[in-house]
Amino acid sequence: MIPIILASTSRYRAELLARLGLAFETMAPGVDETGYQACSARELAGLLAQAKAQAVAGSRPGRIVIGSDQVAVCEERFLGKPGSIEAAIKQLQFQRGKTTLFETAVCLVDASGSSSLSCVTTRVRWLDSSQVSDSLISNYVHKELPLDCAGAAKSEGLGVALIAQMQSEDPTALIGLPLIALTDLLRKAGIEPLAKP
C-alpha cells in the first residue's frame, strides 16, 4: 500500500485518522497560516488544507498526503485558536446565544501529485447567557483548557455542555478531520479502509 502521511501535528487529527485503521505517519507541514487571505471561512479552510498537503507532498513525493484545516466564523468574525485562557473566555462569551459556522476542509494529494479537496460545514448554536453564565464559561475553560481549538470549545468533551444544537453531515468534522469526506477521497485514490491489509 502507498504510504500515507498526515500533514499535521494535531493530536486530534491523528486520533481521528487512526480510527480508519490505516498505517500513517505525521509530519509538520510548516505552513505559515497568517499569510492567507480569503473571501470566506470555507475558502480559507480549503486554501490552508491544500497548502499543508502540498507542502508535505513536495518534500515526500510518491506518497498519499492528507492536509486539513478548520476555520470558525461567528457574525463575520473569524475565530482562531485562542491560545490563552483569557482569549478562550472572551471567544465563548462572544459566541454565547449565537451560531458559529465551522468550516473543516480536507485535502488529499495522491502519489501522482494530484490533489482533491472537500469541505464540511458544521453549524453550532450556543446556549445563551440565561443558560451559561460568565462563571460557568470560566469554569469550563479552566477545566478543559481548549486553547488549541478554533472557537474555544471541544465538542468531544465538556464543551458539549455549552452547545444548544449542532448540525453537520459529518460528526467528526467539528473535531478537526471529516472522516466521511476523507474516506471518499481515499477510495478515489485507490485506498479502501475496509479492505484487509
In 50-133, DSSP assigns E strands to 64-74, 77-79, 99-109, 115-126
Cα torsion 71, 156, 109, 57 to 10°: value is 90
Instruction: Give Dmax over CA atoms of the chain in angstroms.
Output: 55
184 a catalytic residue: no
- Helix residue ranges per DSSP H, 60-133: 85-95
Residues 32, 69, 134, 184: which is the catalytic one? 69
Spatial distance between the Cα atoms of 99 and 67, rounded to a whole number of angstroms: 26
* End-to-end Cα separation, the chain, in angstroms: 8
Q: Which amino acid is at 194?
A: L
- DSSP run (H or E) holding 132: none
Residue 196 phi, psi dihedral angles, 5° rounding: -70, 145
Query: Which triple of cell numbers denotes residue 74?
Result: 461567528
Active-site residue list: 69
